[in-house]
Structure 1
């Protein structure tokens, strides 16, 4: 069986195993992607934030503690929504149990739209980027990360297990659906090149301000072995854009 969008996170065993991996100090989320996102976001004092594919909203909780005015999360997994609402108790945050595609984006409502490791689950990013552009205020910012396209082009090297020692890059310029073996399940992702993401952003009206490929930094890893391994291939691609 294969899972699309956020549906895999409603599988109890998958959810539990994912959260354990996600919370490891040396996970790419914590050692590489997180610091980049905060660097690109910069000041969040008194701003309204929309987070697409918000997961358990631990990111939203942190943003509110750092001074954000309010936080809105959109998440398609019921299990993640329950965790998110628990995380945001007594916080100025709202969670919508919707997919990124089905959410009704209000016009010019947010100062910042974020998304972390979620857009590679979306089949039509052109339409999604247009919706994000509509929901941002003038001069609003759009900061997001995705799984690096070098790692989504082919999942053939994952047949030997999750902790890859080598990576196969194949069919890079063939945009479209990919099926990844992940935590004892098969999830559907959508591969696009860096160029295709850039073009989609420009066509939606955005100005791209910055791009990062997640260069690992030694001080963010507890393990020398994991730091050396993460220097071999990029696993993160992050964009910072403005309306």
Structure 2
């Protein structure tokens, strides 16, 4: 959390503004957030007018942090992974997920469950790590600050192992096209897509802003559940 809370982190300077822009109107909406972490996002949504918030999180420590954040608002958190959670039918107006779906092996099943859980013409907005940064099997050897990126093995979909805070995490690389086709086949219309173009006003440090202009780190989609035919 200390690492993520840096003002110029990609989460704060790039991904957060995009997510709010893509979600747009969330007033009086019921929201499901997959991989919610400490649910600070959900707390903010409810305080700013969302009707309700349900967070899904697989980490026990994060769930405890989320419970504390949601204790004074109309929000709840459930200890589940995105794969183990039982999705009800047409329960939510908006489903969100932030930098989490690239940890899921089977996005076809996930997207179908999300489609099921949304009300008619409900919205699905999510961000993942940009595929250019997950493509190569060898581009990242250490968990420290990155100054170069190797783009290779782009069309080889599947598991990638990456160092992060002295641990090895498993992510799943897939191309932009693969995300798009999975969404369409699951019943969504893609209405917007962003690659996280940095905005100078969102950065306090000029060097970090210029560094982030070199390669995209965020891929975000805004999708609408199609009407039942």
User: TM-score over 0.5 for the alignment?
Assistant: yes
Q: Check conservation: 1:47, 1:69, Cα contact below 8 A.
A: yes
Equivalent residue for 2:121, pick from 131, 136, 139: 139
Give CA-to-partner distance per residue, 1:185-206, whole Å, 9 cap, x none. Answer: 1000000000000000000000
Is the Cα contact below 8 Å between 1:157 and 1:164 reproduced in 2? Answer: no
Question: Aligned residue for 1:94?
Answer: 76
Cα distance in structure 1, aligned partners of 2:21 and 2:54:
21
**Partner residue, 2:30:** 48
Structure 2 Cα separation of the partners of residues 199 and 42 of structure 1? 24
State the Cα distance separating 1:152 from its structure 2 match.
Answer: 0.7
Question: Corresponding residue for 1:25?
Answer: 7
CA contact (8 A) 2:31 2:93 kept: yes
After superposition, where does 1:69-218 map in structure 2 within 5 Å? Answer: 69-154=51-136, 156-218=138-200
The SS at the match of 2:109 is helix
Q: Let me know the Cα RMSD of the aligned residues.
A: 0.8
Q: TM-score, normalised by structure 1?
A: 0.91
How far residue 90 of structure 1 moved from its aligned partner, in angstroms, is 1.9
Residues 5-41 of structure 1: CA deviation (Å, up to 9, x unaligned): xxxxxxxxxxxxxx11110100000000000000000
Number of aligned residue pairs: give it: 225
Kept in 1, the 8 Å contact 2:139–2:151? The answer is no
The structure richer in helix per residue is: 1
Q: Deviations over 1:92-112 (max 9, x none)?
A: 001000000000001000000
Structure 1 residues 105-159: Cα deviation after superposition (integer angstroms, max 9, x where no partner) = 0100000000000000000000000000000000100000000000011252322
Gaps of 5+ in 2: none
Alignment counterpart, residue 38 of structure 1, candidates 20, 44, 53: 20
Q: Moved runs in structure 1, 4+ residues, more than 3 A?
A: none
Q: Alignment partner for residue 224 of structure 1, among 195, 202, 206?
A: 206
Return the TM-score normalized by structure 2: 0.97
